[in-house]
Structure 1
Amino acid sequence: MRHPFLSIAAAALVAAPLLIASPAPAQAAGLDWQPCPDDAALDCATLSVPLNWAEPDGERIELSLVRREGSSKAGDKLGTLVYGPGGPGGSGVADLKSDPIFQDPVYQHYDVVSYDSRGIGESSPIRCETDNFVRDWPTTRREFRRQLWKNRAYMADCRKRTGPVYDHVDTRSDVRDLDTIRAALGEDKLNYYGVSYGTLRGQQYAEMFPERVGRLILDSTMDHSIDNAWDFMRTETGLREEMFGIFVERCAERQECALHGRDIEALTDRLYERAERGELTDPEEPGRKLDEIGLALSMENLVLGRQWPKLADHLLALEQQADRQLRTASVQEVGNDPSKPIWCNDWNYRVHTFAEAEYLTRRLAKEAPNVRFSSYDYWAVACLGWPRKPVNQPHELELSEEVPPILIANARFDPATVYPWAQAVAEQSGMPLLTYDGGGHGMYFVDSCSREYMHEYLLTGKTPPDGTHCPAQEGPATRSAEPALPMPPSLTEGFASAMR
């Protein structure tokens, strides 16, 4: 899963309507491709787009684009494939420069183009003092007030350093930029592969420009119909609870488990009680005290990675440890930090009071008593102090009959874009869902079986039958001997990296 705010004084604005008729075809001059200064094997270009699409003749900004040309002959070429990175805040330019992204079957028939969306990387980047980025879930009223104050200060700092583009980073604006890129490329239809947060751009392109959709893949997909913090947190954390249940079953079956024969759920209850009293520290970082949420997060990667022996050892070490002292550190830095304004313009996750935050915490502990929290749950409080409703209002995906078949792919145990989201998007759109029965994020890079189906779709337009499953395995998938691919930076850094 690369994978930020407005002026405090800004008045609350009325949210944009959910759906609009397809805008007139984008008008854009052709792109002046030149060898990239840092990599002559790639071509770079810039494209001017309106800062505010509500004022198309007003101020403009420049988008940075990169192209990796395919090897196909003219007669074999199927056009251009646009790559949409993860995030929010992933750089398509950085991803394509760091790795070819796709395998030969794609480059034999497509040029691949990507870009930095507005506010990201080389496209009018949002600048913030990242040391003030709030990364905590408030557990007391005092923490809530402090976090609200810091969030507002952070927003004001970002807005001051960045300028007016800070107010106009949302996926609907990005989609209009994307259609301008399509026109500048000279393509009648958009062929698009979006992964993780990039799938939201793909979904909304199909809504806004149905007649311009070519071949479109949604790999590890967002569900924009989730319009409240509870459903977001419940679905993210529910996956971890399900996987913890698998751990309990495995430990009961295998004598080599360090907790074999123990009541593991009772043990976790006792550990959460000790964490609430301030009696636990992280075995991996002995100076760092663990509260209840810290305890939950200390287990998360072991649960998601199905590292059952290490998880058992971790719980045992927590049970046996003595208390230690807390160690803290802080590093100031100013950098490109677009994730918060994109998130708060796209989603309606708003926590207004400490009572709401406390209610969500307690309800989540009842819903998922063993894991209780997910690192992604932080996003529910990312918009504390955000002064307006999302301009890109959450809603169910509504596609017209003009939209050709779209391919949706997701892992059953995806840690970021959880499987119920993909099921919901498939149901809303009426499009087929390809399922990998294992874990991981970004199926093109994780599972060669899924990747082969994607190649077939990109080359022929044929989607697999709805309900197709690729089996989970330790090694390569059964449909292909190809190994997993290196993931681009926007995925390796993770969908939640900005909240660490």
Structure 2
Amino acid sequence: MRVFGAVLGSLLVLAGGTPALAEPGWSPSAIAWTTCPDDPDSPAPPDGECGTLRVPLDWARPSGPSISLAVARHRAADPAHRLGVLLADLGGPGSSGAEFALSPGLFSPEVLARFDVVGFDLRGTGRSEFIRCEDTSVPPDDEPGDRAQFDALRSYSEKAVSECRARNLPVFDHADTGVNAEDLDAVRRALGEAQISFLGISYGTLLGQQYAEKHGDRVRAMVLDSSIDHSAGIERFLGDRATAADELLRQFAAWCDRTTACALHGRDVLALWPQALAAADGMPQRHNWLRDRVFSDMYGPDWDDAARVIADTLAGQPPVTAQFEYNYASIRLAVVCQDFDLRIRDFAQYRALHAGELRRGPLMRGSTLGHGEAMACLGVHGPPANPPHRLSIPRAPQLLLLNSRYDPATPYAWALAIHHQAPANTTLLTYEGSGHAVYPRTACTRSAVDRYLLTRQPPPHDISCPA
């Protein structure tokens, strides 16, 4: 991680002479841009700048305690034709927006020429009050088979959430996406911009949606790539993802059937799959490790790896799984559990919900992502701070939605739901392939996004890009 510069406490003028916008209420201090320190693992580009911005801990008490957000900027390569600021969030939750802004290779040269790409670390991530839980005990199986196992899992989760919250106060109680949307507007104001463009991927799309709801008139253009549906109740949160996981497994089987390089080519993949799961369950690794590994391969998708892992498991040779430093398992307690109502009352409700997962996704045993988040939230009490609701963006311009037809994390059904909730403000681009995140996949997907960002003109109607 980089070291970010400090904020100049009470300055109201941005470095470079651009005045901060005069708006009612809380006023931002300037972002004191500095050269990013050298980092041998991730060198900053020569036109990259780093800084911090102090914002209220609680936006309902703007004069109360404050926290510091890490911000970074990659300046437009063609400043004479600069179109403004493009803020980007890669989701997670847990990714570093500041780090991404310093290596924005996702974007085309045309976009990088015309925009300052800006990213900030959302609360609890990167250099913005990083949330980390320290529980090292072995958790119970998150698929309890009876009431006693369910009660044990609930007790474990309640203890884990309580200890994580105590360790990470006060930011733990002020990290949901509704709060982050206000932080996003604080960055806009500190930059002195009347409007911003925005690209969010995966969980970053919820940040964009909530910003468009709260500050739609401040949006120049917005791309939502692989969208979270904030209107989903717990049944759809689990069921839609379970269906999507099974659809991806069928896509994998079809790929393997037509691809001679597949390690399982010429064999009935869907028939082998339950055999592989049974073999994996007999190995010393944690329960469902094979399902989870193949599910992660669906994001790419990396069908080569999925095939090799299944073949190795059937041969009795489980692969070694690498571990990475990433605080998603911690920060989801403060974010996802407050953005969605994932409270499960008792074992009877859990049993009904899990039966629904298995009914909609029998091949993959449900979604490792949806199920894992719901069970992690088992120990969270009280209503969500940022309750789910249907999208309402009457003040926003036309937004461009992108989604894969087969997406394991943000099902295509969610993009359709969002499109139906705001038909007058959204245009949908469907990538007719598999995987998570669409923008850089093909010339068709990239050109549609670039044209929209550069001209503010979305496609004249919903469009489809081939796989």
Q: TM over 0.5, yes or no? A: yes
User: Aligned AA for 1:433?
Assistant: L
Equivalent position of 1:35 in the other structure: 35
- CA RMSD, aligned part only? 3.6
Q: Is the Cα–Cα contact under 8 Å of residues 258 and 309 in structure 1 kept in the other structure? A: no
**Are residues 1:174 and 2:189 paired?**
no
CA distance, structure 1, for counterparts of residue 324 and residue 200 of structure 2: 33
CA distance, structure 1, for counterparts of residue 458 and residue 188 of structure 2: 23
Equivalent position of 2:144 in the other structure: 139
**Are residues 1:379 and 2:373 paired?**
yes
CA distance, structure 2, for counterparts of residue 295 and residue 270 of structure 1: 11
- Cα 1:29–1:466, aligned 2, differ >3 Å: closer, same or farther? same
Deviations 1:422-445 (A, max 9, x none): 111112122100111112222223
Q: Secondary structure at the match of 2:342?
A: coil
Q: Is the Cα–Cα contact under 8 Å of residues 94 and 331 in structure 2 kept in the other structure? A: yes
Of 414, 417, 422, 2:415 maps to: 422
CA distance, structure 2, for counterparts of residue 251 and residue 127 of structure 1: 40
CA distance, structure 2, for counterparts of residue 266 and residue 371 of structure 1: 13
Q: Is the Cα–Cα contact under 8 Å of residues 297 and 373 in structure 1 kept in the other structure? A: no
CA distance, structure 2, for counterparts of residue 202 and residue 163 of structure 1: 26
CA distance, structure 1, for counterparts of residue 202 and residue 251 of structure 2: 25
Equivalent position of 2:444 in the other structure: 449
TM norm structure 1: 0.76
Equivalent position of 2:50 in the other structure: 44
**Are residues 1:94 and 2:89 paired?**
no
> How many equivalent residue pairs?
433
User: Aligned AA for 2:285?
Assistant: R
Give, in angstroms, the shift of residue 210 of structure 1. Answer: 1.8
Of 236, 240, 246, 1:241 maps to: 246
Of 342, 354, 365, 1:349 maps to: 342
With CA pairs under 8 Å and 6+ residues apart, which has the higher RCO, 1 or 2?
1
CA distance, structure 2, for counterparts of residue 308 and residue 63 of structure 1: 38
Of 382, 387, 406, 1:388 maps to: 382
* 1:478-497 equivalent positions in 2, closer than 5 A: none
User: Aligned AA for 1:466?
Assistant: H
- Cα 1:47–1:346, aligned 2, differ >3 Å: closer, same or farther? same
Q: Secondary structure at the match of 1:449?
A: helix
Q: Is the Cα–Cα contact under 8 Å of residues 263 and 311 in structure 2 kept in the other structure? A: no
CA distance, structure 2, for counterparts of residue 465 and residue 334 of structure 1: 40
Give, in angstroms, the shift of residue 334 of structure 1. Answer: 9.7
- Cα 1:34–1:177, aligned 2, differ >3 Å: closer, same or farther? same
User: Aligned AA for 2:457?
Assistant: K
**Are residues 1:61 and 2:55 paired?**
no
Q: Is the Cα–Cα contact under 8 Å of residues 301 and 435 in structure 2 kept in the other structure? A: no
**Are residues 1:432 and 2:419 paired?**
no
Equivalent position of 1:11 in the other structure: none
- Cα 1:90–1:359, aligned 2, differ >3 Å: closer, same or farther? same
- Cα 1:83–1:133, aligned 2, differ >3 Å: closer, same or farther? farther
Give, in angstroms, the shift of residue 136 of structure 1. Answer: 4.5
Equivalent position of 1:225 in the other structure: 231
- Cα 1:268–1:363, aligned 2, differ >3 Å: closer, same or farther? farther
Give, in angstroms, the shift of residue 169 of structure 1. Answer: 0.6
Equivalent position of 2:113 in the other structure: 108
CA distance, structure 2, for counterparts of residue 150 and residue 467 of structure 1: 46
CA distance, structure 2, for counterparts of residue 236 and residue 208 of structure 1: 28
Instruction: Tell me which moved more, 344-353 or 57-66.
Output: 344-353
Instruction: Tell me which moved more, 413-422 or 333-342.
Output: 333-342
CA distance, structure 2, for counterparts of residue 254 and residue 175 of structure 1: 44
Q: Secondary structure at the match of 2:226?
A: strand
* 1:114-263 equivalent positions in 2, closer than 5 A: 114-129=119-134, 131=136, 136-140=141-145, 141-228=147-234, 230-246=235-251
Equivalent position of 1:398 in the other structure: 392
Instruction: Tell me which moved more, 154-163 or 415-424.
Output: 154-163
Q: Secondary structure at the match of 1:155?
A: helix
User: Aligned AA for 1:470?
Assistant: C
Give, in angstroms, the shift of residue 353 of structure 1. Answer: 2.4
In the alignment, structure 2 segments of 5+ residues that lack a partner are 1-22, 39-43
- Cα 1:143–1:98, aligned 2, differ >3 Å: closer, same or farther? farther
Give, in angstroms, the shift of residue 240 of structure 1. Answer: 2.5
CA distance, structure 2, for counterparts of residue 424 and residue 458 of structure 1: 23
Deviations 1:407-458 (A, max 9, x none): 1111111221121111111121221001111122222233332111111111
Q: Secondary structure at the match of 1:438?
A: strand
User: Aligned AA for 1:288?
Assistant: Q
User: Aligned AA for 2:456?
Assistant: G
CA distance, structure 2, for counterparts of residue 378 and residue 70 of structure 1: 40
CA distance, structure 1, for counterparts of residue 131 and residue 182 of structure 2: 19
CA distance, structure 2, for counterparts of residue 73 and residue 381 of structure 1: 48
Give, in angstroms, the shift of residue 67 of structure 1. Answer: 0.6
Deviations 1:440-492 (A, max 9, x none): 222223333211111111110010133211111xxxxxxxxxxxxxxxxxxxx
Q: Is the Cα–Cα contact under 8 Å of residues 128 and 335 in structure 1 kept in the other structure? A: no
User: Aligned AA for 2:183?
Assistant: D
CA distance, structure 1, for counterparts of residue 221 and residue 259 of structure 2: 47
CA distance, structure 2, for counterparts of residue 92 and residue 184 of structure 1: 17
Deviations 1:344-383 (A, max 9, x none): 1111112232333333333322223222222212111121
CA distance, structure 2, for counterparts of residue 52 and residue 159 of structure 1: 16
Q: Secondary structure at the match of 1:397?
A: coil
CA distance, structure 1, for counterparts of residue 329 and residue 33 of structure 2: 25
- Cα 1:434–1:56, aligned 2, differ >3 Å: closer, same or farther? same
- Cα 1:189–1:138, aligned 2, differ >3 Å: closer, same or farther? same
Give, in angstroms, the shift of residue 261 of structure 1. Answer: 8.2
- Cα 1:202–1:133, aligned 2, differ >3 Å: closer, same or farther? farther
Instruction: Tell me which moved more, 124-133 or 165-174.
Output: 124-133
CA distance, structure 2, for counterparts of residue 334 and residue 218 of structure 1: 23
* 1:305-324 equivalent positions in 2, closer than 5 A: none
TM norm structure 2: 0.81
Instruction: Tell me which moved more, 35-44 or 134-143.
Output: 134-143
Give, in angstroms, the shift of residue 321 of structure 1. Answer: 6.1
Deviations 1:166-205 (A, max 9, x none): 1111111111111111111111112111111111011111
User: Aligned AA for 1:446?
Assistant: R
Equivalent position of 2:354 in the other structure: 361
Give, in angstroms, the shift of residue 337 of structure 1. Answer: 3.5
Give, in angstroms, the shift of residue 134 of structure 1. Answer: 5.0
